[in-house]
Amino acid sequence: MTIEATLQWSDIARNPREVAATVEREGEARLERRGEGPAFVLMTASRHAATSSGVRIAGKLLRNAIAHSSKLGDLDNLLVDTFPWLRFIPEEYRHGFATEFLVTYEACSDLEVWTPLQSLMREWKATAAIYADPELAAKLNGPFDDDLGPVLAPEVVTDDARRAE
């Protein structure tokens, strides 16, 4: 989504009516701050509601498209057409990606918090990058020359042990 109108943070204090008019006219505006942190997006409540509704509708459509794929090949084609980097993920793992993506998408849509979906996509893309590089994939699949032996179980400290110190 491209935001056409860009305003300065100080415009809110100097000319709030102009800011409001811009947001009403454009539907949204980006507010830039000078070195004070990330920019903000100001939008009308109706635009936010429409965006949220559209995201939920798209999620339902996606869920049904995946659920009603008659063949595993249809699902695979749908996924690879949407996310070309999935070509590097072995086929047996793509259904796991689809399930994890769908569940996370629906949860994020309900909460209107998208950070978990961003994390999921970043993690799967990183996995695809590993599979895309045969040398790296071979290194990560072992054998490992610098094996330090079994990992010891963590020591559990109880409240009683802390009091004795």
The residue ranges of the chain whose pLDDT is under 70 are 1, 69-73, 160-165
Edge-first strand order for the sheet with 28-32 is: 6-8, 28-32, 40-43
Considering the domain architecture, whether residues 57 and 37 belong to the same structural domain is answered as no
Beta-carbon contacts of 76 under 8 Å, excluding residues fewer than 6 positions away, are 91, 94
Whether the model clears a pTM of 0.85, i.e. scores above it, the answer is no
Q: What share of the chain is helix, strand, coil (3-state, %, to 5)?
A: 65, 5, 30
Residue 155: its pLDDT value, please?
Answer: 86
Distance CA 83, CA 69 (A): 17
- Could you tell me what percent of the chain has a pLDDT over 70? 93
Q: Which amino acid is at 138?
A: A
- Per-residue pLDDT tens digits for 138-154: 887 777 777 778 888 88
**Full domain range(s) for residue 76:** 51-133
Whether residue 139 is contained in a domain is answered as no
Whether residue 30 is contained in a domain is answered as yes
Average of per-residue pLDDT values in the chain = 85
Considering the domain architecture, whether residues 129 and 56 belong to the same structural domain is answered as yes
Whether residue 162 is contained in a domain is answered as no
